[in-house]
Amino acid sequence: MAIVLISASQDIAQWRESFAALLSGVELRHWPDIGVADEIDMAIAWKAPEGALKSLPNLRLICSLGQGTDHLFRFDDLPPGVPITRLVDDSMRRQMTAYVIAAVTRRLCRMADYAAYQAKGEWHPLAAYDPAAAVVGVLGLGALGRDAAEKLAGLGFEVRGWSRNPAFIPGVECFNGKRSLAEMLGPCDMVCCLLALTSETLGILDARAFAAIKPGAYLINSARGGHVVEADLLAALDSGHLDGATLDVFEAEPLAADSPLWDHPKVELTPHISAVTMVQSCAGQIAENYRRMTAGQPLLHVVDPDREY
Ligand code: NAP
């Protein structure tokens, strides 16, 4: 049997090298050069073209080549009954927590303001800050959000977290469910989105959510662009209700050349790099799931298609 990698952005040579050491005798093919489709029993997918997964008649496992799984539910074209797994990766967790802490501390230490003063050659000390006086809200307390919330609490910030199901994290005030969202957001000085993107969370950071956050707050979105209604974000920034944003993900990627976000004075942005899939870190768990699939054993990091994450 064979595995197919469906991703335009990955280096197939690197994956083949890793899999040769992990799964001897299993061929790794690269979409669209799949050879005999009947031979493929596992697909490793990132933004697969519409209908691609359904075209593989003997598929027994779909592995999301990322921690997020929203890309798999874009077209409503998944082959019925085929289990889906995703990555849960230590490297991505470390990368994401570092990104979030960088954005939060950069804001608190007024680094952007000091860069502007430096450019003007001005020695201009601003008011001192204490992390304990800043409230940081983390939306999503899963594999990534929980770690970021814990580490921010460890730095002394007052941290509030929000998830679908109840969560208990030492040092973090946890809320859950749609009805508690406005209450959770209310006192936040900074809000970081690390939610799964599903039908329920699409556009969750809209004008209504921004209005619930106290004036002068700061937004960090490193989950998915679909969580934020960009027009509402721009309106909240331009009205002065929100004081700034760090954005790693966007409604459409790459960000359009004419997007007003590019040169907005209150926006710092990065090109979807806050937690990158690294072959050497992720190949092991994918190979392990292949082995489990063939042995009929329980899979790691299974996705529930009904809740879309
Ligand atoms: P995860 O483990 O699946 O956690 C998702 C979190 O979202 C969970 O806490 C879940 O609540 C919460 N959630 C889902 N639906 C909700 C709802 N309707 N109401 C409230 N909370 C809800 O995901 P992850 O691995 O931490 O990833 C988090 C996000 O980061 C994803 O969007 C992923 O795509 C994104 N990501 C971005 C990058 C990047 O480079 N920018 C890299 C990797 C991942 P429960 O805990 O109650 O289930």
pLDDT digits (tens, 9 = 90+) for 160-192: 999 999 999 999 999 999 999 999 999 999 999
- Average pLDDT of the chain is 97
Measured at the alpha carbon of residue 284, what is the angle toward residues 280 and 285, in degrees to the nearest 5? 125
- Take atom 12 of ligand 1 and give the residue whose Cα is closest: 140
Ligand 1 test: best mutation among 67, 71, 151, most atoms within 8 Å of CB? 67
Q: How far is the centre of ligand 1, averaged over its atoms, from the C-alpha of 23 (Å)?
A: 30
Q: Residue 26 has what pLDDT?
A: 94
Question: Which residue type, as a one-letter code, is found at position 112?
Answer: A
**In the predicted model, is pLDDT for residue 134 greater than 90?**
yes
Q: Residue 9 has what pLDDT?
A: 86
Measured at the alpha carbon of residue 228, what is the angle toward residues 226 and 233, in degrees to the nearest 5? 150
Cα gap 1→28, rounded to integer Å: 10
Residue 228: pLDDT band (50, 70, 90) is very high
- Beta pairing partners, 60: none
- Take atom 28 of ligand 1 and give the residue whose Cα is closest: 194
Residue 10: pLDDT band (50, 70, 90) is confident
Active site (annotated) includes residue 224: yes
Q: How far is the centre of ligand 1, averaged over its atoms, from the C-alpha of 130 (Å)?
A: 29
Residue 52: pLDDT band (50, 70, 90) is very high
- Take atom 36 of ligand 1 and give the residue whose Cα is closest: 223
Are 149 and 203 in contact by the 8 Å Cβ rule? The answer is no
